[in-house]
Amino acid sequence: MNKKVMITGANRGIGLSITKNYLNRGDEVYAFCRSPKKSKELYQLSKDNKKIKIYSLDVCSEDSIKNASKLIDDYIDIIICNAGIGSGYGGFMDDDNNQQKFLEVLNTNVVGPFLTIKYFSTKLNKVSDKKIAIISSLMGSQHHDSSNAYFYRSSKAAVNNLMVTFSNELSNQNISICSYHPGWVRTDMGGPNADLSSEESAKNLIKRFDEQSITTTGRFYNYDGKLLMI
């Protein structure tokens, strides 16, 4: 049975590749991003495939998220919180590590997914197999010996904690939620020397989303299916 998918940050990188892969297998996609008119690839997809609907959504604005959720007049099967940003990757004394940047990262990577789930979860189907997936990062794990990327690491640690807390509240509604490390991917954030293409990451992530169920809710997975430590 074809799925109905909602995804944020659908205009580039992993989000765009996830969108393409769902469309290629016949699923319907509600694709959200901050500036749809600037995304030529998304609009090209909409010309070639009638199963994609593209809408504007700014994950840093509660009003934007709330209003965007009202644009979906049907049910959805899965919410994919993909939109996110990076920050300075150096030590704590780097100039990039300032209050404004920290708040920006937390607002995008933590508050954004929280509000997306809050408003879009009411659109999940009323029957079964209801899912929420958060694109996180291994850099959010507490089990590391690195000394850099303070803001990004802490934002991904926080969103993993949100995921676990959501799983505790949503389980009685038969809604599963997991977070996923997409791998080190060749995107604007990952850089040109990363291990995986966005296509490789997306294909593996969709396999993981398909496998997700209420019995696996509250867990953090690698793109290849390996269970990770939060």
Which CATH number fits the domain that encloses residue 152? Answer: 3.40.50.720
| Structure confidence by residue, pLDDT tens digits, 113-151 | 999 999 999 999 988 789 999 999 999 999 888 888 999
Q: φ and ψ at 44, to 5 degrees?
A: -65, -40
Percent of the chain predicted with pLDDT > 90: 85
- Cα–Cα distance between 227 and 138 in angstroms, integer? 11
Q: Label residue 95 by pLDDT band (50, 70, 90).
A: confident
Q: Label residue 226 by pLDDT band (50, 70, 90).
A: very high
Give the chain's end-to-end CA distance (angstroms, integer).
Answer: 33
| Structure confidence by residue, pLDDT tens digits, 42-81 | 999 999 899 999 999 999 999 999 999 999 999 999 999 9
**Quick check: 88 pLDDT over 80?**
no
The per-residue pLDDT for 126 is 86
**Quick check: 109 pLDDT over 90?**
yes
In Å, what is the CA distance from 13 to each residue of 43, 114, 201?
15, 22, 10
Tokens of 220: 């953090």
What's the chain's average pLDDT?
A: 95
Structural domain including 108 reads 4-228
Tokens of 120: 């879009």
| Structure confidence by residue, pLDDT tens digits, 140-180 | 999 888 888 999 999 999 999 999 999 999 999 999 999 99
**Quick check: 111 pLDDT over 80?**
yes
What is the total count of domains within the chain? 1
Q: Label residue 184 by pLDDT band (50, 70, 90).
A: confident
- Asked if residues 31 and 19 have their Cβ atoms less than 8 Å apart, the reply is yes
The per-residue pLDDT for 96 is 86
- Asked if residues 79 and 6 have their Cβ atoms less than 8 Å apart, the reply is yes
- Cα–Cα distance between 185 and 216 in angstroms, integer? 25
